[in-house]
Amino acid sequence: MSETKIKTEGFRIMFLLRRVAVTPLSHWRQMRLAPQGVHLSTGTGRAHSHDPSLIDPEGDPRVRSAHREMTEKGGTRPLYLDAQSTTPLDPRVLDQMLPYLTSYYGNPHSRTHAYGWESEEAMEDARKEVADLIGADPKEIIFTSGATESNNISVKGVARFYKSKKNHVITTQTEHKCVLDSCRQLENEGFTVFFHTDAAQAVGKIPMDVNRMNIDLMSISGHKLYGPKGVGALYVRRRPRVRVEPIQSGGGQERGLRSGTVPTPLAVGLGAACKLSGQEMDYDTQHITRLGNKLVNTVTSSLPHVIFNGDPEHTYPGCVNLSFAYVEGESLLMALKDVALSSGSACTSASLEPSYVLRAIGADEDLAHSSIRFGIGRFTTDEEVDYTIERIISEVSRLREMSPLWEMFQDGIDIKSIQWTQH
């Protein structure tokens, strides 16, 4: 086993042990006295139920209520397979942040004393770590509160600066909602092309080089790559220079593009997360690819009419989106209350509409409604994936047995040919 692999496995175990360490004592007492059907999964520090009697087969009207009900009845928190919504903070990132939450608390923009100098040095080190991950110059990195703010600064700021010369904006239907909404607002202001890359789900997971890829602006999110929430970055090319009009006014920090005091602990956390992602990207990719392939291959070979959404080759293995024909996605989520999954973007999860991304890539409305997204990450274990596979196969089979549409399909009836009566 290589030194890198040994180090990575060691820190993976450290994360799991820390996850156990923060579990309340009362919770552990419940787990130690748990029924025989509940066992502690190797390395995860959590109990997984394999006893069907411990799972309410009818689900609950709301997924959140179901999760709460499970906890209140002495159960455990659900397994976490929603890494595209957010990733857990890597313990090594937390270790880097802690001194700047306690001892080194100076304002990084205070230039008259040591407290400010310490924080400024840490902030600039973090800026370089972000830049190194994407092949940029540190002077091209702007700290923001996250990818949403970076997207808004990019799309609106550039478009408004060049408004007198260029007023055409091009986007895609699969863009994040904050990009689409920004473009719609610009459309209302008279813009009818500008290109920018929202790389929140890519940075730290696949190799990125802004110069080789000819990227002019790029948004980065800390909590998508095992860093803290509330911090992100915006890459703005300097040569040739891309001009951006600030969308807020203030103290002129961050080259005047994003006013406001940079939170040093969060910036340090983002930098540490970027550095770790660069060092461990190859190993993370191997680990996540193996688990993703296991999930897809086992589920699709065990259940008929399961559709893999997206290109099977050009895809990120940690983001698995499957549609289960003749099963309502929301119903499946509620049935799987012991696994934290998603039916779409967490940023728009309040909407019950099917994923606009799936519709944009050609999925029909029924399959879009039946989709579930599985997010596999750095700390996902084999036991968690195995348990999720078992539950998916069981619940999809159960829900289909209850579905009149599945029964009609089994009888050879073409569902799409039916003319439904409206009342």
Biggest alpha carbon–alpha carbon distance for the chain: 80
Task: Give the Cα separation of 69 and 28 in Å (integer).
Answer: 18
Q: How far is CA 233 from CA 78, 194, 350, in A?
A: 31, 19, 26
Dihedral sign (CA 185, 189, 190, 195): negative
Task: Give the Cα separation of 143 and 127 in Å (integer).
Answer: 8
Pair of tokens at residue 303: 């259940």
Task: Choose the catalytic residue: 178, 183, 319, 347.
Answer: 347
DSSP 293-346: HHHHHHHHHHSSSEEE-S-SSSS-TTEEEEEETTS-HHHHHHHTTTEE-BSS-G
- Whether residue 178 lies in the annotated active site: no
**Rg of the Cα atoms in the chain:** 24
Question: Which of 203, 238, 242 is closest to 219 using CA atoms?
Answer: 203
Catalytic site positions: 347
